[in-house]
Amino acid sequence: MIVLFCIGAGYAILSFILGDGLGVDLQVGEMPYLSPVVIATFLTVFGGVGYWLLRQTDWSALPVAGVSLLAGLGVSTVVLFLVVIPLQAAHKGDAPSAQSMIGMAAEVVIPIEPQRLGEIVYVQSGIRHNAPAKSASDTSIASGVTVRIVGESAGIFIVTSDDAKTVFN
């Protein structure tokens, strides 16, 4: 049982480091019950409760395994419904990806100089958003000019002032 506790705790730490630190997506498709958080929770609770029951009671392995299984399933189910599913719903409700912004019009609010960043404002779902931007052709683009988003790199929009037609309110 202590081995499962250590595996669960180690898996949780590894998932945190890979997922949050390095940005690796460890989720298995659209099955939230197989998320690293739920698996780590189950393994940790199952192993921890089993180890504790073996040390603190005189129960045999079968009842300890049964109670540990129920505790692991119960706690991981609570984590699934109170943490994982709400976080996934919030993530899906986020603004569309920067790649989906390609082709949209925006207005330059801080001039874009060659080899330097400026700032654009774009309207999405009736809400104005600001974002850093640089010129696709490494030319200056003045404040107030309407541009078209033609790319994105590391959260910075690449814009051009050619052929942008949308006018902002």
- The string of pLDDT tens digits covering residues 92-144 is 555 556 667 788 899 999 999 988 889 999 887 777 888 899 998 878 899 99
Q: Under a CB-based contact definition with an 8 Å cutoff, are residues 68 and 49 in contact?
A: yes
Q: How far apart are CA 62 and CA 57, in angstroms?
A: 13
Listed range (55-69, 79-93, 115-129) with the worst mean pLDDT: 79-93
CATH number of 98-160: 2.40.50.140
Residue 44, amino acid? T
Q: Terminal CA-to-CA distance of the chain, rounded, Å?
A: 64
- Report residue 22's pLDDT band, with 50, 70 and 90 as the boundaries: very low
Write out the two tokens for 63. 């009842």
Sign of the CA dihedral running 21, 25, 27, 30: positive
State if pTM tops 0.85: no
Question: Rounded to whole angstroms, how far apart are CA atoms 93 and 41?
Answer: 26
Domain ranges of the chain: 2-92, 98-160
Q: Is the pLDDT of residue 77 over 90?
A: yes
